């Protein structure tokens, strides 16, 4: 008999709660965790196969260096000192911006990212690529304009809607919603609800649809524009919502003038017009929520399609309401605001692209590397992502990687990317470290889980991702000299540590941007875990809205300095996950626009919308 432990799946962004039976350091059984407040026992067969991924023959055990085209084992000290030396040389000769960091899209190991990003900034670079940059660029850009900041994404409140629309979403297989199959079946079978799928393919999900609009591939723009035209013609707009919450509708509305919806739908999309009118009415006039996914996000016209989806929701009043489109609760934004209209937001040297959500789109990387421009990319640190397998044009990626002066891969496995890199650093897996789950936005409650290690490290040489980043910061000599008092303050608890840190930063304002690094470095050793220190940093630095919501859940007041410590004690007591804070769905004060209205008009899209 082994010991059962609470954890979560790390194989998709749902991070379903799992319980694992562990015997002799190995996972021997896995089951859905009924005590997880978000997934409530749900899991798919990928989650049930976690042991296969964890105890895998391809796992990396020690650092490697490529010598004469072959990887050889080297000691950590050599790896860190050689990589550090090369990074500094590239920075000094060509500028920090020629160093790139790839990572941060992982669905179970977020805690290395704040340290990795700060390390990149300390090297003088903002050249950051992530998987998020390929799927969500367009939607984050659109939402940034509508809501005032790019880190303010919205999502459908599917579990409370009556009409559920899966648009370019194969959720039966991919999940992408909490308890996806249960949700789909609930809408399919309940006579008072409806499940609509918009997909050119008879997907596994479409098999469960009450209505399947099987449009021609890539014609979503025509369909969306037609649905909005039909809504206007039929008087299904929510005028009160528009008057109260939207600015710019007068500029946007004429973009739909003279649009021949019938012709677009029948000739363009190959659909039955009356069926489309019926679907439009259901979306516009019932408690509807639309889950769009890769069929929209990674398809033609993705920016316009995401924009029109939002227009459709806004003018029918399906935003900021229960069962509609809502802005979820989040403890920390997984990206930053990088509005390209701000002249401080730099462009990439070769393609002239700007970051969205502070992330550059992976599609430009080969061109940014294989170039004669003196500022082209020369070094890459890759962590928890496998670009040579998963990012667009892997052949071009291979060529680009082979041309680099330095490539470093931090991974648990000997991946396609690891095979190409000069240095490979073995990382502890997410089942071997404390970490958290960051993408599973929840609503209206803020769900949180600090995953505990369930198995001992497979290799004594592997280190946690954030620890490796800290080693590189130290190795390059970029770690600021910090006072002994900071290293010791945590012994008297988190609140005492917070006070000491605040006092220190008051006198060292220039280090305020490095809080995650400082906390990982000085509080990590006291807690015995770098990632735990970073989780404390999240709680201390949580937004006012999260802190107020936490107070409503019974935690100390938002401005009480003991709040983070009290919450953290609870977090440790609930390895199965917990509800940490609660939100209002109609709180338009949270918008980052000046007038607290949704700024619906995006002038750059006027022409492409025609
Ligand atoms: N088993 C498994 N699950 C996963 C993952 C995995 O690798 N394996 N990855 C996870 C990740 S990172 C993500 S992002 C999600 C992705 O989850 P989904 O977005 O559900 O991904 P896909 O299965 O690619 O489904 C996209 C759907 O869009 C449809 N489509 C294609 N072209 C068009 C079009 O022109 N218009 C419309 N309307 N639809 C179109 C396709 O037929 C397909 O059914 O899955 C997550 N879950
Ligand atoms: N052809 C095609 N390409 C696609 C897609 C598609 O539908 N079709 N989908 C795209 C989408 S939506 C996405 S999100 C991307 C996903 O692409 P990636 O973000 O590259 O995701 P994974 O392939 O899951 O790679 C994750 C890497 O993390 C490593 N890893 C696992 N556990 C750990 C750990 O504990 N620590 C560390 N350091 N590493 C670990 C794995 O070994 C692997 O090398 O793929 C994209 N690419
Ligand atoms: S739905 Fe995603 S998180 Fe849940 S068990 Fe399956 S792969 Fe894991
Ligand atoms: Mo994805």
Question: pLDDT tens, 93-115?
Answer: 999 999 999 998 788 888 999 99
Q: How far apart, in whole angstroms, are the C-alpha atoms of residue 291 and residue 277?
A: 19
CA 512 to chain centre: 24
Torsion of CA 130, 476, 524, 386, to 10 degrees: 20
Shortest-distance Cα residue to atom 17 of ligand 2 = 390
* pLDDT(345) > 70: yes
Q: How far apart, in whole angstroms, are the C-alpha atoms of residue 523 and residue 103?
A: 24
* pLDDT(369) > 70: yes
Q: Is 436 in the pocket of ligand 2 (CB under 6 A)?
A: no
Q: Is 429 in the pocket of ligand 2 (CB under 6 A)?
A: yes
The residues facing 127 across adjacent strands are 100
Task: Enter the tokens of residue 344.
Answer: 């401080």
Query: 179 in the Ramachandran plot: left (φ > 0), alpha (ψ -120 to 50) or beta?
Result: left
19 with 31: CB under 8 angstroms?
yes
423 with 505: CB under 8 angstroms?
no
- Ligand 3 centroid–CA 250 distance in Å is 43
| 3-state secondary structure (DSSP) of residue 490 | helix
Ligand of minimum distance to the alpha carbon of 391: 2
| Per-residue confidence (pLDDT) for residue 584, from 0 to 100 | 74
Arithmetic mean of pLDDT over the chain: 95
Shortest-distance Cα residue to atom 46 of ligand 2 = 390
Cα 11–Cα 574–Cα 590 angle in degrees, nearest 5: 75
Residue in the structure block whose two tokens are 């003991």: 562
Q: What share of the chain is helix, strand, coil (3-state, %, to 5)?
A: 45, 15, 40
Question: pLDDT tens, 493-512?
Answer: 999 999 999 999 999 999 99
Q: How far apart, in whole angstroms, are the C-alpha atoms of residue 105 and residue 12?
A: 11
Concatenated DSSP letters of 559-597? T-TTHHHHHHHHHHH-TT-EEEEE--TT-GGG--STTSS
| 3-state secondary structure (DSSP) of residue 119 | helix
Question: pLDDT tens, 459-484?
Answer: 899 999 999 999 999 999 999 999 99
Residues 6+ apart with CB under 8 A from 198: 165, 166, 167, 168, 212, 213, 215, 220, 223, 295
Task: Enter the tokens of residue 351.
Answer: 């393609």
Angle between helices 544-552 and 563-573 (to 10 degrees): 70
* Residue closest to 176 by CA, chosen among 389, 447, 451, 439: 439
Ligand 3 pocket test: pick from 14, 15, 169 the residue with the most ligand atoms within 8 Å of its Cβ. Answer: 14
- Ligand 4 centroid–CA 550 distance in Å is 30
Confidence of residue 43 (pLDDT cuts 50, 70, 90): very high
Q: Give percent of the chain above pLDDT 90.
A: 90
Q: How far apart, in whole angstroms, are the C-alpha atoms of residue 97 and residue 348?
A: 9
Q: How far apart, in whole angstroms, are the C-alpha atoms of residue 38 and residue 9?
A: 13
Task: Enter the tokens of residue 458.
Answer: 């497979």
- Ligand 4 centroid–CA 468 distance in Å is 25
Task: Enter the tokens of residue 515.
Answer: 């809080």
* Residue closest to 62 by CA, chosen among 388, 387, 411: 411
Q: How far apart, in whole angstroms, are the C-alpha atoms of residue 352 and residue 58?
A: 38
Q: How far apart, in whole angstroms, are the C-alpha atoms of residue 415 and residue 398?
A: 13
Ligand of minimum distance to the alpha carbon of 430: 2
Q: Is 130 in the pocket of ligand 2 (CB under 6 A)?
A: no
- Ligand 2 centroid–CA 221 distance in Å is 29
Question: pLDDT tens, 131-183?
Answer: 999 899 999 999 999 999 998 788 999 999 999 999 999 999 999 999 999 99
| Per-residue confidence (pLDDT) for residue 585, from 0 to 100 | 66
Q: How far apart, in whole angstroms, are the C-alpha atoms of residue 568 and residue 556?
A: 12
Q: Which DSSP state fits 470?
A: H
Ligand of minimum distance to the alpha carbon of 178: 3
Query: What phi and psi values does residue 38 have, to the nearest 5 degrees?
Result: -95, -50
Other beta carbons less than 10 A from residue 326's beta carbon? 25
| Per-residue confidence (pLDDT) for residue 251, from 0 to 100 | 97
Q: Give percent of the chain above pLDDT 70.
A: 99
Q: What is the CA radius of gyration of the chain?
A: 25
Question: pLDDT tens, 242-274?
Answer: 999 999 999 999 999 999 999 999 999 999 999
Task: Enter the tokens of residue 359.
Answer: 């992330």
């Amino acid at each position: 008999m082994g010991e059962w432990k609470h954890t979560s799946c790390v194989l998709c962004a749902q991070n379903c709660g799992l319980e694992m039976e562990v015997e002799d350091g190995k996972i021997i059984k896995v089951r859905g965790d009924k005590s997880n407040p978000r997934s409530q026992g749900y899991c798919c067969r990928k989650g049930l196969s976690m042991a296969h991924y964890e105890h895998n023959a391809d796992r990396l055990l020690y650092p490697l260096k490529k010598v004469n085209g072959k990887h050889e084992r080297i000691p950590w000290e050599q790896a860190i000192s050689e990589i550090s030396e090369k990074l500094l040389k590239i920075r000094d000769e060509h500028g920090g911006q020629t160093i790139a960091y790839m990572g941060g899209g992982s669905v179970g190991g977020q805690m290395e990212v704040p340290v990795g990003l700060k390390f990149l900034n300390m090297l003088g670079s903002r050249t950051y690529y992530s998987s998020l940059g390929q799927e969500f660029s367009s939607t984050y850009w659109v939402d940034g304009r509508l809501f005032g900041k790019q880190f303010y994404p919205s999502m459908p409140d599917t579990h409370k809607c009556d009409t559920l629309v899966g648009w370019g979403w194969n959720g039966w297989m991919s999940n992408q919603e909490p308890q996806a199959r249960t949700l789909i079946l609930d809408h399919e079978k309940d006579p008072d609800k409806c499940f609509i799928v918009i997909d050119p393919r008879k997907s596994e999900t479409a098999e469960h649809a009450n209505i399947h609009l099987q449009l021609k591939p890539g014609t979503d723009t025509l369909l969306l524009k037609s649905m909005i035209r039909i809504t206007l013609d039929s008087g299904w707009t929510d005028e009160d919502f528009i008057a109260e919450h939207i600015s710019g509708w007068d500029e946007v509305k004429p973009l739909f003038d003279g649009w021949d919806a019938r012709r677009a739908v029948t000739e363009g999309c190959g659909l039955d017009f009356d069926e489309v009118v019926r679907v439009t009415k259901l979306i516009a006039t019932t408690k509807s929520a639309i889950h769009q996914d890769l069929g929209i996000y990674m398809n033609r016209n993705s920016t316009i399609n995401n924009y029109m989806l939002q227009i459709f929701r806004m003018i029918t009043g399906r935003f900021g309401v229960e069962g509609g489109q809502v802005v979820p609760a989040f403890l920390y934004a997984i990206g930053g605001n990088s509005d390209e209209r701000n002249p401080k937001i730099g462009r990439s040297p070769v393609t002239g692209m700007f970051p969205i959500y502070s992330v550059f789109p992976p599609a430009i990387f080969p061109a940014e590397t294989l170039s004669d421009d003196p500022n082209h990319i020369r070094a890459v640190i890759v962590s928890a992502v496998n670009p040579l397998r998963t990012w667009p044009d892997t052949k071009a990626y291979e060529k680009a990687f082979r041309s680099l002066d330095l490539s470093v891969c931090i991974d648990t496995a000997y991946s396609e990317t690891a095979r190409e890199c000069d240095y490979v650093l073995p990382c502890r897996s997410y089942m071997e470290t404390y970490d958290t789950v960051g993408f599973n936005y929840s609503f209206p409650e803020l769900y949180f889980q600090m995953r505990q290690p369930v198995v001992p490290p497979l290799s004594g040489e592997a280190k946690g991702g954030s620890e490796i980043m800290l080693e590189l910061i130290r190795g390059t000599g970029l770690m600021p000299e910090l006072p002994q008092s900071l290293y010791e303050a945590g012994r008297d608890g988190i609140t005492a540590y917070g006070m000491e840190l605040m006092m220190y930063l008051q006198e060292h304002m220039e280090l305020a941007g490095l809080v995650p690094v400082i906390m990982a470095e000085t509080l990590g050793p006291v807690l015995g875990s770098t990632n735990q220190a970073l989780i404390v940093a999240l709680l201390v630095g949580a937004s006012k809205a999260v802190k107020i919501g936490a107070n409503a859940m019974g935690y100390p007041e938002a401005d009480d300095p003991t709040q983070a410590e009290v919450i953290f004690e609870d977090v440790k007591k609930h390895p199965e996950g917990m509800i940490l804070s609660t939100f209002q769905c109609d709180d338009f004060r949270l918008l980052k626009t000046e007038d607290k209205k949704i700024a619906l008009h995006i002038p750059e899209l006027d022409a492409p919308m025609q």
